[in-house]
A and B are shown apart, each in its own frame.
Chain A
Amino acid sequence: MTIFNHAESKINGVGLGLKRELISQIQAAFGQELIANINFVEIAPENWIDVGGKARKQLDWFAERYPIVCHGLCLSLGGLAPLNTGFLQQVKKFLQQYNIPLYTEHLSYSTDAYKGQQGYLYDLLPIPFTEEAVHYVAKRIRQTQDILGQRIAIENASFYVQAPVSTMSELTFIQAVLTEADCLLHLDINNIYVNSVNFGFDAHEFLLGIPGERIVYSHVAGHYQQTPDLLIDTHGEDVIDPVWTLLEEAYQLFGTFPTLLERDNNIPPLNLLMRELNKIAYYQSKYHQQPLASTSLYG
């Protein structure tokens, strides 16, 4: 199995999610100082596999100029229907075709059918945190890794409802899945913060419990405050200070790792977005050291 290695991969520094609204702006600014801190871009395979026409030409343009990360939305690692292996074969081909070193997915589910039939809801739903769910999800992650012939990273998801059937904390669940699946971690800093408010736990303590040696990638984003105790993970606002603080703390604790700004809604012009990318780059330069993931896990 191919392991993910920062030194060999070109995924480093700061990245930006490739949204249609931003494509022509990045193309126009290419080579300029303004976007010097875009080191890689991220795409959802569910939006780009087997596209032709204008979208294909855009993808090819970026693939020639930037390293790409695939961040999936619909693999449904915690879903009831069998893993969509046909789709995974398409993902595998796509990763090879575009020389994409990293594929990450959410620790969530997006399907609800039972006994063979997929029923996609096209959204990220919370997996109950139980022993059985740990084994179930870990098995599906292993199956995914076997099909792809490489490790994947799983992302801690944001959520709004705590399952009454849960028997452990989110952190314990994440730790157990990572260990049992022997996979990598895509740490979403904003999701830690969102969940800490939604469920009243200490985000810093949560961070301390994260197995840092498995982190290969991270996200920061903004969210929407619906009420003081309910944050919605919209990716439609600027990143707030407590989330920046948490990112800084993560770099301090674990060393720096590639970090992407997610902005999916209410997208401002590129020059404004770059302020947030530049801020990530600033923190990375402040805490730069050998990423632990490539030394302790694979050294």
Chain B
Amino acid sequence: MTSDIPSFQHYQLAFTAYIRDPLQQPRPKGVPAKRMDVYKEIVLNNLFESVSACFPVAQKVLSKRAWLTLVRRFFREHSANSPMFRQIPEEFVNYVTKICLSDETKLPQYLASLCHYEWVELLVSCMDETSNEVIPNIQGINPMADLLAYKPVFTPTMQLLNYEYAVQKISPSYKPKEKVNTQLLVYRNAEDIVRFVELNPVTHRLIELLHDSTNTGEQALTMIANELNHPQPASVLQFGLEILNSLRSQDIILGVYS
């Protein structure tokens, strides 16, 4: 595959192959080991720092050695497509998700979910909410209006998350064996601080029905009352309004287009 490239590029391929996998690949011909070691160490160390900074919990639940082995493997096997440094952790999450699905290594089952959960904080902290079209007309939002009568507008940084494990509780003293269906909401508040909120199934369903749809608060709650076969739909409306007002007080709901 490489016969049609000039010799300087053959050398470059050998050079990076060795940096990525110094145990399996030969050192480029004619290059002193001591000097090559500089690249071997610096490139991996820089990547290790960029990755590790985003995953403090995942690092702790794996042993130091296992974490280093995982990052080494990521560097060896993964072809990262983004020049943006803040997307290195995203590349890592994609890689870990892939190997956890297909892999016979002894990585914990919850690792992909945990890494995703830790990465989402970075994603939301630096998400550029002004560049997308989620809120075409932020000035047109009425923050005080009735959340039942209109469609609530959510803050554009909000992400609804579904995990098979209680990722927010994982620590060296809680490494889950059992799956626990876990629903979270994450968003960036007006002070640019990233907040996670644990959701009960009803709240999660309510936000799901309101987000990316044209449903009003009342329509979504009526649907939930039907789904639950609730004997008193009016109490679902009342309970639901309290949830919506609470979301508004946390700046998760910005208001409505009225």
- Chain A contacts of B157 at CB under 8 A? 52-53
Which of A30-38, A116-124, A140-148, A201-209 forms contacts with chain B?
A116-124
A contacts with B, residue count (CB < 8 A): 49
List the A side residues contacting B1 at CB < 8 Å.
114-115
Which residues of B lie under 8 Å from residue A117 when comparing CB positions? 79, 81
The reply to whether the CB of B148 lies closer than 8 angstroms to some CB of chain A is no
CB <8 Å contact, A136 and B6 = yes
Residues of A within 8 A of B5 (CB): 80, 114
Interface of A is mostly: loop
Q: Is B30 an interface residue (CB 8 A)?
A: yes
Contacts A51-B126, A122-B50; A130 near B79 (Cβ below 8 A): no
CB nearest neighbor in B for A112: B16
* The one of B6, B13, B126 that contacts A53, using a Cβ cutoff of 8 Å: B126
Closest Cβ–Cβ distance, residue B148 to chain A (whole Å): 31
A7 neighbours in B (Cβ, 8 Å): none
Q: How far is the CA of A84 from the CA of B9 in the complex (A)?
A: 18
A109 to B39 CA separation, bound complex (whole angstroms)? 13
A126 to chain B: closest CB distance in Å? 8
Contact with B along A14-27 (1 / 0, CB 8 A): 00000000000000
Q: Evaluate contact between A46 and B84: CB separation under 8 angstroms.
A: yes
Distance in Å: Cβ of B75 to nearest Cβ of chain A: 8
| A74 beta carbon closer than 8 Å to chain B | yes
Q: Which of B93-147 contact A (CB under 8 A)?
A: 125-131
Q: Is the CB of B30 within 8 A of A112?
A: no
- Chain B residue with the shortest CB-CB distance to A120: B80
Is B42 a contact partner of A123 (Cβ separation < 8 A)?
A: yes
Q: Return B130 CB to nearest CB of chain A, in Å.
A: 7
Q: Which residue of A lies closest to B47 (CB)?
A: A122
A230 near B30: Cβ-Cβ < 8 Å: no
Q: Which of B19, B84, B128 contacts A121 (CB 8 A)?
A: B19
Min CB distance, B43 to chain A, in Å?
A: 4
Q: Which residues of B contact A80 (CB under 8 A)?
A: 5, 9, 12-13
Assuming the contacts A80-B9, A80-B13, asked whether A53 and B127 have C-beta atoms less than 8 A apart, the reply is: yes
Q: Is the CB of A118 within 8 A of B85?
A: no
Q: Is the CB of A125 within 8 A of B16?
A: yes
Q: A46-B85, A128-B8, A160-B35 known; A53 and B79 CB under 8 Å?
A: no
Q: Are B128 and A87 in contact (CB under 8 A)?
A: no
A118 touches B30 (CB 8 A): no
Cβ-defined contact, A51 with B8, below 8 A: no
- Check A163–B35 contact: CB distance below 8 A: no
Tell me if B6 and A132 are in contact (CB < 8 A). Answer: yes
Q: Which residue on chain A has the smallest CB distance to residue B2?
A: A114
B contact residues around A115 at 8 Å (CB): 1
Question: Knowing A54-B192, A132-B8 touch, does A121 contact B16 (C-beta < 8 A)?
Answer: yes
Q: Is A50 an interface residue (CB 8 A)?
A: yes
Nearest A residue to B86, CB-CB = A47
Chain A residue contacts of B38, Cβ below 8 A: 160-161, 226, 230, 232
Q: Which residues of A contact B127 (CB under 8 A)?
A: 52-53
The reply to whether A125 and B15 form a contact with Cβ atoms under 8 Å apart is yes
Q: Looking at the assembled complex, report how far the CB atom of A262 sits from the nearest CB atom of chain B, in whole angstroms.
A: 15
Contact partner, A130, options B7, B30, B39, B42, Cβ 8 Å: B7
**Extra A-B contacts (13), CB below 8 Å, given A53-B188, A133-B8, A165-B10:** A51-B86, A54-B126, A76-B83, A80-B12, A80-B13, A115-B1, A118-B81, A119-B80, A123-B47, A128-B12, A130-B6, A136-B8, A164-B30
A-B contact list, 7 entries, CB within 8 Å: A47-B85, A74-B85, A112-B16, A117-B81, A122-B46, A125-B15, A165-B7
> Interface of A with B (CB < 8 Å)?
44, 46-47, 49-57, 73-76, 78-80, 84, 87, 109-110, 112-115, 117-123, 125, 127-128, 130, 132-133, 136, 160-161, 163-165, 226, 230, 232
